[in-house]
Amino acid sequence: MLRHPQTPVVAAGAAPSAGTLVTSEMVAENPRVKVFIRKADEALAEIGYTEHGERHVTLVSNIAYNVLKRLGYPEREAELARIAGLLHDIGNAVNRDRHAQTGGVMAMQILTAMDMPDLEIVRVMGAIGNHHENDGDPVTPVAAAVILADKSDVHRTRVRNPDMIKFDIHDRVNYAVTKSFLNVDEGNKQIVLELTVDTSISQVMEYFEIFMTRMLASRKAAKFLGTSFGLMVNGNRLT
């Protein structure tokens, strides 16, 4: 039987090994991860989606880490959120439909080859598999952090072709957002997505028209973390 040379063989019923302390830096520099992120973004570009490449996943990774750190979670838990953020969209290289679940399985293969402990792999897989607002839930703190980080990335730098803002509401809304910041107030147990929107490009109502499910997912994730979720647009608190 042929086996991948990097894949450890574990006998049935054997206890999982202690594994290796895999860091986000190791994952980010993994050649296979780099290819998967690039090809996932290229696939989405072909079907007209906003940027989902290195910029997006790095930002999601860092925000997810900061959410858990600000709320007092252990460093390793925050680091797993950072790793999940880096890998959360690689399933798009296969197909947009069910990309979260596909990405979770792909991440399992990558992290197993890196000898990450099984219990950590499961947490990363669960976060990736649950990050999409249509079919995911905040089943762990890591998953909740990735959901919040992913849904907070609304910004004009995600728009590939500014000419499309005349025709596509997703591009128009993203292009209208000139600043976005996920503010974690650990003292008051509040997480607020703060947006600066150029209303000459897109009205605030268009944001809610396309992103309501994302905001509901964010509220559910914030609640899981013991906080409330709010939205502030141009200095006005809307929730």
Which pLDDT tens digit goes with each residue over 25-81? 999 999 999 999 999 999 999 999 999 999 999 999 999 999 999 999 999 999 999
* In the chain, where the domains are located: 24-237
CB atoms within 10 A of CB 87: 30
- Of 63, 12, 57, the C-alpha closest to 33 is 57
Identify the H or E element spanning 191. Answer: strand 190-197
CB atoms within 10 A of CB 35: 12
- Write down the CATH number for the domain with range 24-237: 1.10.3210
6 pLDDT tier (thresholds 50, 70, 90): very low
Which pLDDT tens digit goes with each residue over 102-157? 999 999 999 999 999 999 999 999 999 999 999 999 999 999 999 999 999 999 99
10 pLDDT tier (thresholds 50, 70, 90): very low
> Do 221 and 144 touch, CB atoms closer than 8 A?
yes
